Homo-oligomer: A and B are copies of this chain.
Amino acid sequence: MAMVSIKDVAALAGVSPGTVSNVLNRPGKVAPATRERVEAAISELGFVRHGSASTLRAGHSRTIGLSVIDIGNPFFTEVAAGVEDVASELGYAVILGNSAGSTDKEDRNLRVLAEQRVRGVLITPSGEDPARLDRLREHGISVVLVDHPAHRPDQCAVAVDDVAGGRAAVAHLLGKGARSLAYVTGPLTIRQCVERREGAKMAMTAAGLDPAGLRVVEAATMTAKAGEKAAGELVADGLPEAIFCANDLLALGVLRALLRSGVRVPEDVVLMGYDDIDFAAASTVSLTSMRQPTYQLGRIATELLLDECDNPDTHAHQHIMFQPELVARESTQ
C-alpha cells in the first residue's frame, strides 16, 4: 500500500519532480549523472508510475481497445494474439471486449473504452452501422477496422478479400470435376458469409454454370454442431458433388456427419472449409481450406493504429486487403 510517488523519488535523488518525469519520458534531455541518481532512487523505492495521473495530464493513455465478435472462435483468438504481441512490444496495454455478436454489448464495451480514454480501438464491427464508431472518433479515439473493409477514406482498415476467397475456393472444387455444389454458411447477416457466397457464384459463372444452381444451406451459428445439422439436410435431400463451407467449424461438422452416414470424403463428395484453423489440418480427413493471415491481421492492424496515434502528422491511412490462400488437403484430393 506504499503509495510512492514521483515526489518521493525526487526527494531521495535530490532533484525536482520535473526532472524525474524527464528521466521517465525523455531520458536524453537529462544529464547522465543525474539520470543515474534518479534511476537508483526509482529502483530503491520500487516506484511505479501512476498511469492514470499520466494519462490525465498528458491527455492520452498507453492502452488500446480490442473489440471482437467471438473470443471463442480460433480465428479471433489468433488475431488477438497478434494484437497483444505488438501492443506489448510497444508498451501498450490491451483492453479486451467481446461483443458476442450483440450490438448492445458492443456498444457497452465501446462506452467502457471511451471512459478509459484508450488511445485507439481495433474492432471487428458486428453491425454495419458506422455511426457508433464515428462517435469514438469525435472523442479523439482512432479506430482501425479489422477483418472489415473501411467505412470511410480517413480511416485504416485491414481486411481479407472474401469475394476472391469464395471464388478461389469454388474454382478449386469445380476443378476437381464437381458440377453440383452446396454452400453451407452461417447467418447471411454476416458480411463474410455473403461475400464468400458472391465469390462462389462468380466462380460458377466463370465455369459456365448457372450461379442460381448454388444450393445454399444457412446455419444459425458457425459451429461444428450446426455443420452436422446442415449435412443432415444435404444427405436427406441428395448430396451434391462438392460442398463449400463458410468456415472450418462448419466444415468439420459436415465432415463428421458425412463420414457417419457412410459418405466418403473426398471420393463421394469433395469438401472444403475456410479460415484454415489448426484443426483443419489435424482432422482425420484433413481439410482443404482458405488460409487467412490471421495473426498478421492482428499485428498489422495494431501497427497501423499505433502509428496513427504516435505519428499523427506523418501517418497515412491505409486500406489493406489481403488475399487468402488455398491450402489443398485430403478432403479435396
Binding site for B on A (CB under 8 A): 1-3, 46, 48-53, 55-56, 61-63, 66, 71-72, 74, 77-78, 80-81, 84-85, 88, 91, 93-98, 105, 108-109, 111-117, 135, 138-140, 223-225, 252-253, 255-256, 259, 278-279, 282-285
Contact = CB atoms under 8 A, between A and B. Distances in A.
A253 B286 CA distance: 12
Contact of A95 (B53, B91, B95): B95
B51 A117 contact: yes
Q: Which of A138, A223, A279 has the most CB of B within 10 A?
A: A279
Contacts of A285: 284
Copies in the complex: 2
A220 B267 CA distance: 36
Given A52-B61, A278-B224, A84 B96 contact: yes
A55 B46 CA distance: 21
B77 A72 contact: yes
B98 A95 contact: no
Contacts of A63: 95, 116
Interface of A is mostly: helix
Given A72-B78, A108-B88, A52 B55 contact: yes
Contacts of A114: 48
Contact of A253 (B53, B139, B256, B282): B282
A115 B48 contact: yes
7 tightest A-B CB contacts, nearest first: A52-B55, A52-B52, A284-B284, A224-B282, A96-B96, A51-B115, A52-B56
A72 B73 CA distance: 10
A48 B105 contact: no
A98 B66 CA distance: 14
A95 B282 CA distance: 32
Contacts of A116: 51-52, 63, 93
Contacts of A48: 111, 114-115, 139
A252 B2 CA distance: 50
Contact of A284 (B81, B108, B283): B283
